[in-house]
Structure 1
Amino acid sequence: MNRKPDTTTGNPLALTRRSFIAATAVGGATLAMGANAAFAQSGDTIKVGFISPRTGPLAGFGQTDGYVLDLAKKALAEGFQSGGKSWKVEIIDQDTQSDPSRAGQLAKDLINNRNIDLMLVVSTPETINPVADACEAAGVPCLSTVMPWEAWYFGRGAKPGQPSPFKWTYHFGFGVGEFFKTYVSQWKLIETNRKVGVMYPNDADGNAIRANLAPLLAKEGFTIVDPGPYEDGTTDYSAQISLFKREGIEIFNSFPIPPDFAAFWRQAAQQGLTRKIKICQVAKTGLFPSDINALGKLGMNISSAAYWHKAFPYKSTLTGVSGTELADGYETASGKQWTQQLGASLALLDAGFEALKASTNVKDKAAVAKALSTLKTTTIAGKVDFTSGPVANVSPGPIIGTQWVKAASGSKFPLDYVVTENVTDPNVPVGAKLLPYNG
């Protein structure tokens, strides 16, 4: 008997007495229809799991997923063509609530109880890695995006110079190399003393960045001032701020979760550090307008980087929408400002369904995994190519320099998100000059 998550308890495996009775009744009805009819119905449907953080500290990453999934479901409403056959598609989306343990539980439920044919998972190691590990263990094809690929690949046990240990899981998008190129390109736009204060947390993102990005920046001539890993949820950053002031940093770079950066940056302002900063380059928290707006004036001129922007000149292979159409449609439907996650989540659906289309048999998990391993396509976020990655199972992608600036008079929103450099994808037009944080 298939068991759906009980959303009232937050436990994806919980089954209440009422749901048990209802499920039993449905099961009896199915049996009454005849086993052959039930098999035919399930055999004609492709089941795709979609896991993301819709609530909790990482909710900014999942805020737009409902809109994107609605677009995908509309595009698939008349069926999906693969192997000369038209298939019904069921997308089963789940919210991790920003909890890694729950992410793993949801994945196992979709695999064992919902019998999915393909898993799609998006945004941050806390979401992606537990899901990918569950899929690898169960032999279920899985595609993911939006986290540094090094944190996905090496963070899950792969070793440098050794063959990939992964057969079922694939990841596309930016890595340390893209951050390095973008940061060097961005930081050369403003004259500084090239002293960089870094705040890298003790998590998968932070550890991957510290081990791989910081040495590259040092070789490029930047002085890295690193007070060491900090734990998520830290509330007092006085020691780090004192070090940064003493060393005279003029560039600040961090990969924090939103509550941590808000606490740090407000303390940095109170203690006089922000007045010395010429470039504040924030990943993760710097991605979404809600997190920047929450900082008030302290959010103005914060630099970021975008794995998707509405200026990207590509269209969705699944829905046919352009970047501008996607962003404008979301703002009209929600009344909220567009975010870069719109394009990233849609790119995941683009790539996933392109793999299913290319598969010799969508109901054969090995065939779907093989289609992923040879996938070459262009999504709304750009090229995906698993045949030429830096390592097997990985297709790197762009990340471009951006900045939050005061919006023009008459804008519906207080800040505008502008492109300031494009070294990792010259097809994306630069729209503005980088401004100093204290200009």
Structure 2
Amino acid sequence: MTDFNRRQFTGLLATTTLMLSARGALAQDADSIRIGFCSPRTGPLAGFGKTDGFVLEQVRAALEGGIAVADKTYRVEILDRDTQSDPARAAQLAKELIGEGIHLMLAVSTPEVINPVSDACEAAGVPCLSTVMPWEAWYFGRGAKPGEPSPFKWTYHFGFGVGEVFQTYVATWPQVETNKKVGVMYPNDADGNAVRAALAPQLAGAGYTIVDPGAYETGTTDYSSQIALFKSEGVEIINTFPIPSDFAAFWRQAAQQGLARQVKIVQTAKTGLFPPEMEALGSLGQKMTSAAYWHRDFPYSSPVTGQTGRALADGWEAATGEQWTQQLGATLSLIDAGIAALKATTDPKSREAVRDAIASLNVETIGGQVDFTSGPVPNVAHGPILGAQWVKAAEGPFALDYVLVDNTPDPNVPVSATLIPYNE
């Protein structure tokens, strides 16, 4: 064989091998469903994504045998990506996943992740399901208008909204006697703007005096002016929606400048959700009031893994030696809902069929009921958020315990404590 013929033969063999491999992949893909999954595993919002690898491990094990849809079994492949807490990166990752032929996108935790991923899916015609951010920041923050038809055809979101937050606050705060003056720290971002527009007026209507120093920019390092205003106005309740690092800076300065001594309730949101954040604050983290969009005491189980809330939380602690977080159940509930939608279709590889299944979805997850047939607006399903507080643990390996103090949005969840004044 001449060198030329040898080169021809080698090239032909390589080409044939690639073609056969491609055909094999196509044959396998015919029975495979691809799910994209985006969350913030690193960066300033990493607390939200810290447990996602563990949850995905549980899910992949449970789905190892595939899922049955319309008398056919499909292999499930979950392509998970870390947005690094960067909206631009989240958008780019979503586009890459769409290019890889996903049939469903799942996005979890904060507008910085969910909104850019949802926008990319809406533009490309890919069904997307998300959770863990106020639905108003998702719906109106992406261009929908009150009273007008939904502009979204492919993207859906479930979880708490300002209504649930308001319910929880006005049920929880009266457990401690205050002057009802609320100092608000709402940043200039999707969350902050949504709660300023919707929550603050509702609180005012319920008899609370809102002391608002105005929107601040994420990354602010000096909060002296806000603290001075809150002190001079005599506020006894603080309500915040910052990223964790901003809140830590604000509250340390509040303690140094004497504000913490007059405040009876420190109500956090978007921060104060996870044990490492609270432990980093030391004694300042004790008795802070938070809001639980999931708790290990939720009386529901995962239809995907079969785990109860306690089993999921205990599994995390046994595997890692770290305290459970509410994100465990929130992430699993998203996957529960996504898999339920796929199972409800006649063809899970049809994007239109998956979209339509989400639109009519009504299923119980480990986080409770996800019902898109009775949402507050199209493309949105309600979800609970309950009153909770960080208290010194009575015993055990962890410094703090996360206890539920109000269950107004979901009375099925047991309450285990009453609110303790922060400055007591």
TM-score category, normalised to shorter length: over 0.9
Q: Is it true that 1:69 corresponds to 2:56 in the alignment?
A: yes
Q: Is it true that 1:308 corresponds to 2:294 in the alignment?
A: yes
1:422 maps to 407
Flag the 1:56–1:244 CA change in 2: closer, same or farther, 3 A: same
2:250 maps to 264
1:19 maps to none
| Alpha-carbon shift at residue 183 of structure 1 (Å) | 0.3
Q: Over the residues paired in the alignment, what is the CA RMSD in angstroms?
A: 1.2
Of residues 115, 123, 135, the one that matches 2:121 is 135
Instruction: Write the distance in 1 (CA, Å) between the matches of 2:314 and 2:193.
Output: 36
Letter in 1 for 2:78: I
Instruction: Write the distance in 2 (CA, Å) between the matches of 1:63 and 1:437.
Output: 28
What do residues 279-318 of structure 1 show as CA deviations (whole Å, max 9, x unaligned)? 0000111101111110000000000000000010000011
1:328 maps to 314
Instruction: Write the distance in 2 (CA, Å) between the matches of 1:227 and 1:33.
Output: 62
Q: Is it true that 1:80 corresponds to 2:67 in the alignment?
A: yes
Asked if structure 2 preserves the Cα contact closer than 8 Å seen for 1:30 and 1:38, the reply is no
Larger Rg: 2
Aligned pairs (5 A) from 1:22-421: 29-33=17-21, 35=23, 37-112=24-99, 114-409=100-395, 411-421=396-406
TM-score (norm 1): 0.93
| Alpha-carbon shift at residue 438 of structure 1 (Å) | 1.2
Please give the secondary structure, in 1, of the residue aligned with 2:238: strand
What do residues 24-72 of structure 1 show as CA deviations (whole Å, max 9, x unaligned)? x99974413463x332211111000010000000000000000100000
Instruction: Write the distance in 2 (CA, Å) between the matches of 1:29 and 1:238.
Output: 68
| Alpha-carbon shift at residue 116 of structure 1 (Å) | 0.3
TM-score (norm 2): 0.96
Flag the 1:86–1:274 CA change in 2: closer, same or farther, 3 A: same
Residue ranges of structure 2 left out of the alignment (5+ in a row)? 1-12
Instruction: Write the distance in 2 (CA, Å) between the matches of 1:253 and 1:34.
Output: 56
Instruction: Write the distance in 1 (CA, Å) between the matches of 2:197 and 2:50.
Output: 31
Instruction: Write the distance in 1 (CA, Å) between the matches of 2:185 and 2:115.
Output: 22
Flag the 1:33–1:285 CA change in 2: closer, same or farther, 3 A: closer
1:15 maps to none
What do residues 146-190 of structure 1 show as CA deviations (whole Å, max 9, x unaligned)? 000000000001010000011100000000000000000011111
Letter in 1 for 2:406: E
| Alpha-carbon shift at residue 239 of structure 1 (Å) | 0.3
Asked if structure 2 preserves the Cα contact closer than 8 Å seen for 1:403 and 1:417, the reply is yes
Flag the 1:29–1:197 CA change in 2: closer, same or farther, 3 A: farther
2:7 maps to none
Instruction: Write the distance in 2 (CA, Å) between the matches of 1:170 and 1:50.
Output: 14
Residue ranges of structure 1 left out of the alignment (5+ in a row)? 1-24
Please give the secondary structure, in 2, of the residue aligned with 1:78: coil
Instruction: Write the distance in 1 (CA, Å) between the matches of 2:17 and 2:371.
Output: 45
Please give the secondary structure, in 1, of the residue aligned with 2:255: helix
Letter in 1 for 2:410: D
What do residues 208-241 of structure 1 show as CA deviations (whole Å, max 9, x unaligned)? 0000000000000000000000000000000000
Instruction: Write the distance in 1 (CA, Å) between the matches of 2:359 and 2:16.
Output: 41
What do residues 381-420 of structure 1 show as CA deviations (whole Å, max 9, x unaligned)? 00100011010000010000000000013x1100000000
1:16 maps to none
| Alpha-carbon shift at residue 433 of structure 1 (Å) | 1.3
Instruction: Write the distance in 1 (CA, Å) between the matches of 2:25 and 2:185.
Output: 55
Instruction: Write the distance in 2 (CA, Å) between the matches of 1:382 and 1:53.
Output: 23
Please give the secondary structure, in 2, of the residue aligned with 1:285: coil
Please give the secondary structure, in 2, of the residue aligned with 1:416: strand
Q: Percent identity?
A: 67
Provide the aligned length of Structure 1 versus Structure 2. Answer: 412
Flag the 1:274–1:70 CA change in 2: closer, same or farther, 3 A: same
Spell out structure 1 runs of 4+ moving beyond 4 A: 25-28
Please give the secondary structure, in 1, of the residue aligned with 2:272: helix
2:422 maps to 437
Instruction: Write the distance in 1 (CA, Å) between the matches of 2:101 and 2:114.
Output: 19
Flag the 1:182–1:370 CA change in 2: closer, same or farther, 3 A: same
